Amino acid sequence: MSADHETTAAKDVEPRPSPFAPFRRRAFRILVAGQSLSTLGDMVYLVALPFVILGAGYATTGLSITLTGFGVARIVTALPGGALADRFGARPVMLGADLARCAALTTLTVAAVRGAPGLGHLVVTGIVLGACEGAHIPAYRSITPALVPDAELAAANSIGIAANLFANVIGPPIGGVLVALVAPWPAIGADAASFAVSALALLAIHRVPAPPERPAAAGSGSLLGFVRSSPLYRTVLLMTVVLGASVGGTLEVALPVLAGTRPGLGPAGYGWLMAALGIGMLGGGASAGALTHGRRQGPLVIAALAVNGGLLAALPHVGGLVPMAVTMAVVGALDGVLAVLVMTATQRMPPPRLLARAQGLISLVTFAMFPLSVAVAGLVLHRWSPAAMFHLTGLGFAAVAVCGLASRSLRRL
């Protein structure tokens, strides 16, 4: 082989980027730091919120109304938020959402310091937070491809998801300590401050370049046209619907009931199982970029779905806290890998002018499926047992894996 041929071949081999390569990008470092801090603040706030509402004498009805307002507002703004991000840029939408949330939480903090906030104030705050989160998420998911090269996108998503999951793990204990040692209002104020810092971080990102152009499929000039022209995106939507209609209810309803019926588990056991799930997700999300680089990702997605379905269906039949926790940790790890792979794939599918709207549609479906999943779990547990819900969720994963095998676009991903 000639030296010239060896040089040409070497140039054709794409160098493998480091899993930490995105950290070399100043704008990405600032983005991850700001968003992780605001997620930490959210987790602290979520612990304080029930104590603010219940302490004001509004009972569980007040908590239900506030959370319902949050959930409905989040669904309503997901698509408009994506459209605004596509029209005006992701950074202005994220900045506006952070400032609005900071203002809403600051007023609630002041009201909590002065005494019991009114129920109307709590509900309006919940609606503002939900509306801002619904608009923020598609904008956030659409900004990363503009800040890192495409070769580093999976690693960037892995870092971002892992950082947010870490905040999810450590935030509740911090919130619990603040509420227990001081009062709920410092936790609310901490969340307000986290959004202020996040807004400053976004201001420090001076310029966000446009994401790289990709060949657009015929008929993809609108969001509906893109959905019609992309079999792979439709497969992801189907996956979101099927899994979203079962997973939330399984973890939030069936699992605590199952733990309550098992000797030696109870509420503490449920807490340990959820902690194992979170630790597994953190590990899977953090390692996904490195583990999957250079491999075909479609078969990995299908395999992870199939294995997860089998593990969830088998969980009610696993005996003892430690084996159940190990099973949950593996489920979490696979979920973390799936989150990185699916997010990266959906960021690469649409043309840049539709990226935030495509992310907004996925967010809308995700948000809408959670209350449906909880309702389904309630019906299943009323008629059968917690194990039946786990079996149903396992069948859902299996069905999505089969659909993935039947999807040529996913197999070739």
Cα(385)–Cα(388) distance, rounded to whole angstroms? 5
**pLDDT of 11 strictly over 70:** no
Structure letter (DSSP) for residue 250: I
Torsion of CA 27, 297, 39, 22, to 10 degrees: -20
Q: Please, which pLDDT band fits residue 272 given cuts at 50, 70 and 90?
A: confident
Structure tokens at 2: 């000639």
Q: pTM above 0.75?
A: yes
- Alpha carbon distance 274, 236 (integer Å): 26
Which pLDDT belongs to residue 17?
67
Composition of the chain by helix, strand, coil, percent to 5:
85, 0, 15
* Pair of tokens at residue 184: 């709920």
| Closest by Cα among 269, 297, 334, 333 to 409 | 297
pLDDT of residue 170: 85
- pLDDT at residue 229, rounded to an integer: 87
pLDDT digits (tens, 9 = 90+) for 105-143: 999 999 988 888 888 999 999 999 999 999 999 999 999
> How many CB atoms are closer than 10 A to CB 263?
6
Q: Tell me what pLDDT residue 209 has.
A: 67
In this prediction, residues 79-103 reach a mean pLDDT of: 94
Q: How many CB atoms lie within 10 A of CB 72?
A: 18
Return the pLDDT at 8: 42
Look at residue 387 in the predicted model and tell me its pLDDT.
92
Q: Quickly list H helices, 148-218.
A: 153-181, 184-204
Q: What is the pLDDT of residues 324-380, one digit of tens each?
A: 999 999 999 999 888 888 898 899 889 888 999 999 999 999 999 888 888 888 888
Q: Please, what is the Cα angle at 46 between 240 and 243, to 5 degrees? A: 15
28-43, pLDDT tens digit by residue? 999 999 999 999 999 8
In this structure, is the dihedral angle defined by the CA atoms of residues 289, 134, 240 and 378, taken in order, positive or negative?
Answer: positive
Q: Which of 46-50, 60-64, 91-95, 253-257 shows the lowest per-residue confidence on average (mean pLDDT)?
A: 60-64
What average pLDDT does this structure show over 173-189?
Answer: 87
Average pLDDT, the chain: 86
Q: List the alpha helices (DSSP H) in 230-320.
A: 231-244, 247-249, 255-261, 266-292, 297-314
